[in-house]
Structure 1
């Protein structure tokens, strides 16, 4: 349509669908059949549709409500203190708009607590949401509700590919697992066994730990790997000290050939504490995330390597992408993988 501004209404007429359907496709929110989505996008491209950013800005609100649902940072689960730091940094870039951020924190691996916080979140009626989708089933249920309400949402830390999330910024968890495996392959003696520790309740419902484990095991299925020892997986459903110690004591009593440990979560320092108390500091220990307690044991030499996905940077970027979508109608890339950093005592300070 040369010389004429193409409207959403024009695309809807051409596609034979409602204006609401076109809006959901163009703004990547809500569920639309794949064939319909493809047809709408093809017509929009053919008509050279350009969103009227200026007109949208005139009727845009000056403040936005952003909800953030994250695990509660308590006890030995202090990793989740990092993400709010990045979100607060992101808020600094919203001028002249105002971002009203409200946190909804749930107990890690507690599905009922997640559901209760999700209900509170929806009642608050946010304009957009940042989700750490640790619990897969419960997060998918929440996403279906948000899709029905046409509320855009983004993921941090973990991705659910079969969702309508606006964007995901974070680690490629499978590759993160393979990176850990490659470090273990070099650091553990060729014929020694490797222990994989998962500190999680109902691990089948914890996406990122599953993907890391899959990546870790897939590495050793490839031909030509150096380590030929057993790969022993243990799940510790309780994060408390006694539960972890009792589980590991049984494992080491029944497996005398363990040469290294990979911890699939950020609570690597808990295993480091165990090794120190049991005089097992000689074992090669690899885990995830750089923060105070993990860094302490890295400096002591009990943790050998940490793999980091930069949670502060990740959260700041996610906040900015969501806010720019709300305030300026800019649609981010669906997935943006963070660099996977390998940290040891030599580069910890940098």
Structure 2
């Protein structure tokens, strides 16, 4: 049964308690002096009448402003992954800006942890009401959130999670399970005695929490699954996928190890690998990467990339801002961890994925 929305007003409570509207207001907002007997009476009536304060109306009336700070990686191109969460951020902002919310955007370079520190310091100096950040660099992120904790500034993680932190909430994929899923897909789709390459396009991989968790999930699947123990696993780390030396390392490894029939790229740059496979006319290799960006879509359609694991970045950006809004403005309890779906996209279902 659906109940009608309760329309109890402060005036109704005052009439029922035989006190002034001002007395009820002082009890609701816990300010001013009210006798214990009167306070208890009013609180009892509030509970009985199921009164719910209109916090949005109060916020509009008070003209209070809320400052949110955003700390995201700078997109490496107009089509790259980190443009997508901003779509969700902008959507959320359009919905809540009337309630006095301002969002200040800070971007850092994905190849330079020092730029993270610089932007983080600017955020601390601005003393925002709340922060949404991608903890891209683990060490630098932990230092930053330690300062946020000292200042009692709530923060929401997006895209990557840091366990055992005092975050308000995490919005994103379970990176470990994403890696496990990739391992299972390759295990089921290549010959039993085939080899697999795990390819990392990253600088300071050990400092990139989400990539480490994906790799951990991938390897632990094979370590714990006795039926998959015959597969040989290679790992190759390439700092710059555009560098010719790095590209030659990949092609030399593939040509000298024809038993490699599956490749897992741990981030959204799988298109660099696909380009090499196409240029060198390599075939018979299953390829899994991450994220539905245009470069990856092109190779998915060609059949060079077989699977893309997607994590709804627009939804992550939207939910992160709304979560902070609900906590700070609406005073609501929010979930500590909000996992987005782990979606498998192929060329067959690409056109139906929203």
TM-score range, shorter chain: 0.7 to 0.9
Q: Is the contact made by 1:266 and 1:289 (CA closer than 8 Å) also made in structure 2? A: yes
Corresponding residue of 1:195: 197
Deviations 1:245-268 (A, max 9, x none): 033134235433211100011111
Corresponding residue of 1:123: 125
Counterpart among 163, 167, 170 of residue 169 in structure 2: 167
Corresponding residue of 1:65: 67
Q: 1:201, 1:314 → 2: CA distance?
A: 25
Instruction: Could you tell me which runs of 5 or more consecutive residues in structure 1 were left unpaired when the two chains were aligned.
Output: 10-47
| Structure number, greater radius of gyration | 2
**Cα deviation, residue 190, structure 1:** 1.4
Q: Is the contact made by 1:62 and 1:96 (CA closer than 8 Å) also made in structure 2? A: no
Deviations 1:219-270 (A, max 9, x none): 1122343572211111112243424303313423543321110001111111
Corresponding residue of 1:31: none
Q: 2:62, 2:335 → 1: CA distance?
A: 23
CA distance 1:328–1:285, shift in 2 (3 Å)? same
Counterpart among 124, 140, 147 of residue 145 in structure 1: 147
Corresponding residue of 1:319: 321
Indicate yes or no: 2:158 matched with 1:156.
yes
Corresponding residue of 2:37: none
SS of the aligned residue for 1:238 comes to: coil
SS of the aligned residue for 2:96 comes to: coil
TM-score by length of 1: 0.81
Q: 1:306, 1:257 → 2: CA distance?
A: 23
Q: 2:141, 2:267 → 1: CA distance?
A: 19
Indicate yes or no: 2:113 matched with 1:111.
yes
Counterpart among 235, 239, 258 of residue 256 in structure 1: 258
Q: 1:88, 1:283 → 2: CA distance?
A: 39
Q: Is the contact made by 2:170 and 2:337 (CA closer than 8 Å) also made in structure 1? A: yes
SS of the aligned residue for 1:349 comes to: helix
SS of the aligned residue for 1:339 comes to: coil
Q: 2:256, 2:239 → 1: CA distance?
A: 19
Counterpart among 86, 97, 100 of residue 98 in structure 1: 100
Corresponding residue of 1:337: 339
Q: Is the contact made by 1:155 and 1:165 (CA closer than 8 Å) also made in structure 2? A: yes
Root mean square deviation, CA, Å: 2.7
CA distance 1:271–1:173, shift in 2 (3 Å)? same
Instruction: Could you tell me which runs of 5 or more consecutive residues in structure 2 were left unpaired when the two chains were aligned.
Output: 1-16, 18-23, 32-46
**Cα deviation, residue 124, structure 1:** 2.6
CA distance 1:55–1:185, shift in 2 (3 Å)? closer
Corresponding residue of 1:232: 234
Deviations 1:45-74 (A, max 9, x none): xxx9xxx96689469654322111111111
Counterpart among 184, 187, 204 of residue 185 in structure 1: 187
Q: Is the contact made by 1:76 and 1:239 (CA closer than 8 Å) also made in structure 2? A: no
Indicate yes or no: 2:281 matched with 1:271.
no
**Cα deviation, residue 7, structure 1:** 9.6
CA distance 1:61–1:332, shift in 2 (3 Å)? farther
TM-score by length of 2: 0.80
**Cα deviation, residue 92, structure 1:** 2.4
Q: 2:137, 2:30 → 1: CA distance?
A: 37
Deviations 1:155-178 (A, max 9, x none): 000000121110001111111001
